[in-house]
Amino acid sequence: MDKIVDHINVNRDRYVEELKQYLAIPSVSALPQHKDDVRRCAEWTADQMRRIGLQTVRLEETPGHPIVYGEWLGAQGAPTILFYGHYDVQPVDPLNLWTSPPFEATVRDGEIYARGSVDDKGQVFMHFKAVEAHMKEHGRLPVNMKFLIEGEEEVGSANLDNFVNANKALLKADVVVISDSPMFDRGVPSICYGLRGLAYYQIDLRGTKSDLHSGSFGGAVANPAMVLAQILAQMKDRSGRIKIPGFYDDVVELLPEERAEFAKLPFNERKYRLELGAPRLFGETGFTTLERVWGRPTFEVNGLLSGFTGEGAKTVIPALAMGKVSMRLVPNQDPKKIGDLFEAHIKKIAPKTVELSLTRMHGGKPWMTAFDNPFVQAAGRAIEKGFGQRPVFNREGGSIPVVATFQEELGLPCVLFGVGLPDENAHAPDEKLDLGNFHNGIIASAFLYGEIGGLPR
């Protein structure tokens, strides 16, 4: 491995220059005007896979954006890693809050700033370079590898489950590896053993045919903005508990041992609060911040739209009100079942004074795994070699919908080894990736392939 580590060290600057090209492609999966850019990014990804020595690289078409597949299966008798990541990115708005343009990657103070730097192109690219280092130094990998890089993760992976189910033989492997999550903190690498699930809705309310003069009609009809506020206010009580009947029925409670482990992590609540700029933290009574984010479900309003929001004042009763809401779920909550409970509840509490319509948007199942399996242990050793630090074990509040599918449909354990930092602004302006973590992540990935390659199948 010395030769490989040397190779990675010598090529450090080249990696950054190449990553800049990847980050220059605006592969925003949510926006139709970027459809061609998303495809161009898939092609760039495929081309990169070919360059580093993967074989049978191809785009797999879906009803949406293409999936990129590539493999190297020359390690006879060794286990197979299925690596999953995504090449699509979130929209960039609000654009005016970016210090440098989101698709012109810029290095400042050891961080590379661009949309997709941490989520997830930078972390995918780290694995490409780890593969390349093995190939350049030894002409082979110490493990069999299959790469599955999708272009629809940020819009809910709607076509990926079908692809996985239709291609079980193609995707046969021993373990899934994913780098699409933050590490616990700067200098505290981690392995993530749990993700929350998601159920997302748009709520539309109509009060009248059109907007009304609030003087001529105020008092005579319900105001949909007010009704929406009243509905939303009934979703959670003052102690942060969700009031949808049946919502908690399937929640697996945090075990005392797990809570004790969370409490041992180097978490500074005051620093966390100050970094967020929140006057006070808020969450479900009876739980710590880490417990709330990692191990408890939540109901959030993502956005609201109604009436007059321009400068000055306009006396009007809006005809429409719209809200986007989502619920983060924990094991064993099922997004379909939770969605049904939410729909039943909102239909029950919505007054007859407005027309209600609900649109079910994306969702995903929560996921959690035991971390005493040999693959997780192997990842622990690799991370220690790359970062000079033993990783801690953490859960995360975010969602990667396909992880539960890999576990349930392919029966595979998943190792989530992410190198992002909690403050790297994923989905926000000034998204960035620490180049030291990127570099150590390449070394750790290169070790990971060797560690897993040495395990029995």
Stretch that binds ligand BES, among 36-44, 178-186, 284-292, 307-315 (CB under 6 A): 178-186
For residue 158, which phi and psi values (nearest 5 degrees)? -60, -30
Is 161 annotated in the active site? no
Of residues 181 and 437, the one with the C-beta less far from ligand BES: 181
Binding of residue 181 to ligand BES (CB under 6 A) = yes
Binding of residue 431 to Mn ion (CB under 5 A) = no
Q: Minimum distance from CB of 427 to Mn ion (Å)?
A: 6
Give the whole-angstrom CA distance, residue 97 versus residue 446. Answer: 36
Binding of residue 151 to ligand BES (CB under 6 A) = no
Q: Please, which of residues 32-51 interact with ligand BES by CB under 6 A?
A: none
Strand pairing report for 432-434 and 111-113: antiparallel
Q: Minimum distance from CB of 169 to ligand BES (Å)?
A: 27
Q: For tokens 């009609």, name the residue.
A: 217
Query: b or e along 68-91 (b: 16 or more beta carbons within 10 Å of the residue's beta carbon)?
Result: bbbbbeebeebbbbbbbbbbbbbb
Instruction: Tell whether the torsion through CA atoms of 436, 437, 438 and 440 is positive or negative.
Output: positive
Q: Minimum distance from CB of 153 to Mn ion (Å)?
A: 6
For ligand BES, the binding residue among 227, 400, 403, 446 (CB under 6 A) is 400
The four Cα atoms 391, 397, 399, 405 give a dihedral, to 10 degrees, of 70
Binding of residue 150 to Mn ion (CB under 5 A) = no
Q: Please, which of residues 160-189 interact with Mn ion by CB under 5 A?
A: 180
The four Cα atoms 68, 73, 78, 79 give a dihedral, to 10 degrees, of 20
- Given a contact cutoff of 8 angstroms between Cβ atoms, the answer to whether 394 and 192 are in contact is yes
Is 424 annotated in the active site? no
Size of the site for ligand BES (CB under 6 A): 17
Binding of residue 20 to ligand BES (CB under 6 A) = no
Give the whole-angstrom CA distance, residue 429 versus residue 183. Answer: 20
Binding of residue 154 to ligand BES (CB under 6 A) = yes
Q: Please, which of residues 198-257 interact with Mn ion by CB under 5 A?
A: none
CA distances 143 to 77, 93, 170, 380, Å, are: 9, 41, 16, 17
Active site residues: 88, 153
Contacting positions for ligand BES (CB under 6 A) = 119-120, 153-154, 156, 180-182, 195, 198, 362, 364, 396, 398-401
Residues interacting with Mn ion, by CB under 5 A?
119-120, 180
